[in-house]
Amino acid sequence: MQKIMRRLPAEWEEQDGVLLAWPHENTDWAPQLSRVEPVFARIIAAISRFERVLLLTEKVEHVKEALAREGGLLERITFAPVATNDTWARDFGPITVYDDNRPLHLDFSFNGWGLKFPANLDNVINRRLAGDGFFNGRIVTPPMIFEGGSVESDGKGTLLVTSNCLLEANRNPHLTKDEIDALLCEHLGASHILWLDHGHLVGDDTSSHIDTLARLCPEDTITYVACNDPTDEHFQELSAMKQQLEGLRSLSGQPFRLIPLPFPSPCLDCEGNRLPATYANFLIINGAVLLPVYNDPSDISAIDALQSAFPEHEIIGIDCSSIITQGGSLHCLTMQLPKGAMK
């Protein structure tokens, strides 16, 4: 019998579309909806230039007006009237793998990043979308708490993860590191799992999601957050992360090409607390990369660094200064749906 192959595609592979959820008055965005709705609309409009969008909202007409103002291509946007706790589709959305070349949607359990926030509505979204016919392929629920922002894939069997997140006590306390490795191999088709033990951003609620720190890119490249200021509170952890990245090896046994991303100036909330602003939280789509920027002098050098990792892609900066106030950024809001995943 022919062996059935399972594979988690790289984000830069061809996509059908991107899943997002629109902010509303019952989310933590409520006090600043007028500020953040235009940013959501700009992100969706930018994606719609290149591919489809599956948008969760119960206020379709209001959202259509907001999207039209930002030039969104409405013919490429599908609306799903589904209730949500919040807007972090990266972490409650389906992780789509190819199982014998057919899309399979993994509906991992989501518990609000280790029981930090309510997730009762978000945790059932994938089943609702599948039941309403938005997905091609089967949907299954692996026995594990797991979020899309906690894993990077090169599409060839290599995964990049962090121990701070996957071994956090309120996610899978019954599983050892070896058991988590085995589950990732089984469900994501991994053959080469790389664990980072260092790296953390002040203000981050995710327990060090990898998509805030380091990202796998084509040609055995990793872009990563670099801190060059010894007086910055991140300096020691990010320096240790850089050293560990330098010691990682690809499937072929070679060191990765490492591209540092600058560290933006401190972003603070209204009470003076530091926010986890990062250029690593970019979204790769068909022909473009959407990069969160923060109206910071480092924005230009971040664009240049990312262009070197994706020379054939258009790099589109989107000001996410208002998005970071809730502790996440552009990649956190989105979940790509690979080719063949959408109906």
Give residue-wise pLDDT tens across range 135-178: 999 999 999 999 999 999 999 999 999 999 999 999 999 999 99
Would you place residue 5 in the very low, low, confident or very high pLDDT band (cuts 50, 70, 90)? confident
Would you place residue 3 in the very low, low, confident or very high pLDDT band (cuts 50, 70, 90)? low
pLDDT tens for 244-284 read: 999 999 999 999 999 999 999 999 998 999 999 999 999 99
pLDDT for 2 equals 41
pLDDT for 328 equals 96
pLDDT for 212 equals 98
Instruction: Return d(Cα 35, Cα 9) in angstroms, integer.
Output: 34
pLDDT tens for 74-106 read: 999 999 999 999 999 999 999 999 999 999 999
Q: Provide the percentage of residues in the chain whose pLDDT is more than 70.
A: 99
The arithmetic mean of pLDDT across residues 185-213, rounded, is 97
Residue 301: its H or E element: helix 299-309
Instruction: Return d(Cα 316, Cα 50) in angstroms, integer.
Output: 12
pLDDT for 1 equals 35
Q: Provide the percentage of residues in the chain whose pLDDT is more than 90.
A: 98
The arithmetic mean of pLDDT across residues 284-298, rounded, is 98
Backbone CA torsion sign across 32, 111, 53, 287 = positive
Q: Which CATH architecture has domain 6-338?
A: 5-stranded Propeller (3.75)
Domain residue ranges in the chain: 6-338
Its pTM stands at 0.97
**324: pLDDT strictly greater than 90:** yes
The arithmetic mean of pLDDT across residues 297-311, rounded, is 98
